[in-house]
Each structure stands twice: as structure tokens, then as C-alpha cells.
Amino acid sequence: MISSILFSRATFLSAALAALGGDVLLCPNVRSDVPQTSLPSSMNDKERDAQLQLASCLVRKSTSDYLHDDPTLAGPFLRLAFHDAATREDSSSTSFAAFSGGPNGSIKYELDWSENRGLSRPLKVIEQIHAEIVRNLNISLADTIALAGAQAVQAARGPTISIRLGRRDATKADERNRRNNLQSDTTGSLVDTTLPSAGLDSEGLRLYFGALGLSDKEFVALCGAHDLGRHVTLLDMPKACLKNLTRECLENAPMLMPFVAEEPDTFSNSYFLKLLKWNDRRVALGEVAFIPTDVDLVVDEGLRRYVKHFARDKAAFYSTFATAYRKLVEPGTTSVRRY
């Protein structure tokens, strides 16, 4: 009796998935990194796989629907995924098996952090998507955030990024300050917070992203996300806010400035082209609005070679970005497959 119930439910999920799966942009074919014989084989595991695949397709479809109506959400969706995942700190310097923080949905408790200004709006949308889907399917908010970030890249004409699922949601904020600080021999390399400071020098960036398991090439690619979206500025800010710059002022800033002015809602490798142009002092006023960590990538000779590489080869940038994104958001996942 139990087996027949599970079979019927699994068959229903498969049928629903097939109905959605006709659109390859929303439900792309995903390949596992392990042989087919290693995939789950029991009825319970098959049902769970069907649920995850259906839930992931629904998240991606809903995300794409919102982006169709408001393309300016692409950058915030991606930034939300970054800031939820990047708070990870390993408990051991030699193992990534045990860690605190990371991609766990804790961002909902961290909106008062100055680094997370402007994220209330995208989080509200993602929570609405999650609330609708979780009524019938079991998927965490953390999974929803990571999927929405990947789908935002794809919808903005970037690479298709399938990811593993099975994250568990946190019930409180992650630690804002690191338990173990990192620093090399430069003043600007001090890494003492779980989200990166905009004032880190190139050595600080290496330490920060290296602790997350990313190579120099991978974190330079990840920084290419600044091709997408905008950041808060003080332009046209009310006088009351200039006197007392509250969280509400930052959340409702009247003027947002794109890192790269040209097509800020489209994912491409133009960020790297503009960095090189900036380095040659050939950018026009208002063409870019880089922050210090952007400039680090071209000032540092070792990192500049990757900027040049990605500026020449968009396909290489897309491939490396997808790898880096997975490394950032997949710790703590339990699924074998990617969705």
C-alpha cells in the first residue's frame, strides 16, 4: 500500500515536471558529475529527486517571470545569493567538511548589516516565490535563493548554471565577524568580517576568496558579476539622510549607480573590458563606477592577466564563473544531481 502511494505521488511529480520541461530555458537538462549507477535508486530517493527537479523548475520559472517584468532585479538576485553564501568560515584550516555560515538562508536575519543594504527588495520577492512553492513541495529558502541567483545570470544572457540542492535553512544570523582573522603583510589585507570589505587590497581578496576555496582565476571571474546591477550612491539623497544616513535611507536611495553604465541588466564580459580601459585612463566620465576591490584586479599584475583573459574570451569567463558560483553556493548541499 505504501509503495503504491509513493509510486502514484512520484508519477504525479514526474508528469508535472514533464509538463514544465518542454521549455529548455526554464528546465534545462542537467547532468550529474557522477556515473548514472551512483544516482539514488530507491523509490523514496526517486520521489525526492522528482520533487527537487520540479521545485527547481518552478523557482527558475517564477524568477524568470519576475525578471521579465523587471530586469533590474537580476543584479540584486545575484547579489542576494552571494551575500547569503559568502559568510562561510571553515572550522578547520585543512578541511572544508565542517564550517559555519554559508548558503543557509540566514540573509533574512542579516538585512541590518551595512554590507546588505538594498537587499530587502530582492529578498521579499524570493520569499514570495518560496512561500508559493513550499505549499506543495519541500525546498528550503536557501535553495530558492541560490537557484534564483543562477537563474538571474541565465535570464540576463549569461551562462546556464545548474546547482546541487538540499541546503538547510538557518534560524538566526550568521556571524558577522570572523573567529579567525586573516592577513598578509599589507595593512589593506586584513580580513576580519565574513563578508568582504570594499577596502580590501589584492592580497586581502586572495585571502578572503581563498578561504572559500576559490582560486585567483575563479574569484576574478566571480567579480565579473559587477557587470550586472547597480550600487547605492549619495546622489540626490535627501538632506535629512545626508545628516543621518540610516538603513532606510540606503534602502530607498533615489539614485543607484551601475558599476558599468552600458547595459547594467545584461550579463557579459564588458566589466573586464572596462577595467582595462580604466587602467589605460581611457574611460569617459560616468562610463564606470568601480569600487576599490574592482580596481585591485587591474592594479595587481597577477590578477590583471585573468582580467585580460576574460576580456578576450567570453566563453572562458562564462565557464569559470559557473564553476566559481557552484563552489560558493554548494557547501552544505545534499543532492547528488544538479538541477
DSSP per-residue string spanning 120-164: HHHHHHHHHHHHHHTTTS---HHHHHHHHHHHHHHHTT-------
Contacts of 164 (CB under 8 A, 6+ apart): 326, 330, 333, 334, 335, 336, 337, 338, 339
Sign, CA torsion 229/231/236/240: positive
Q: Where are the alpha helices (DSSP H) in the chain?
A: 2-20, 43-69, 74-85, 120-133, 141-155, 202-211, 216-223, 239-243, 247-251, 270-279, 292-299, 301-312, 314-329
Alpha-carbon span 123 to 125, nearest angstrom: 5
Alpha-carbon span 15 to 135, nearest angstrom: 18
Q: How far is CA 331 from the centre of its chain?
A: 13
H or E stretch at 256: strand 256-258
Q: Is 166 left (phi over 0), alpha (psi -120 to 50) or beta?
A: left
Beta carbons of 298 and 278 less than 8 angstroms apart: yes
Beta carbons of 61 and 25 less than 8 angstroms apart: no
Beta carbons of 54 and 11 less than 8 angstroms apart: no
Is residue 83 flagged as an active site residue? yes
Residue tagged active-site, from 68, 83, 130, 226:
83
Alpha-carbon span 81 to 125, nearest angstrom: 13
Q: Within a 10 A sphere around the Cβ of 293, how many other Cβ atoms?
A: 19
Q: Within a 10 A sphere around the Cβ of 179, how many other Cβ atoms?
A: 10
Any idea which residues carry the catalytic annotation? 83
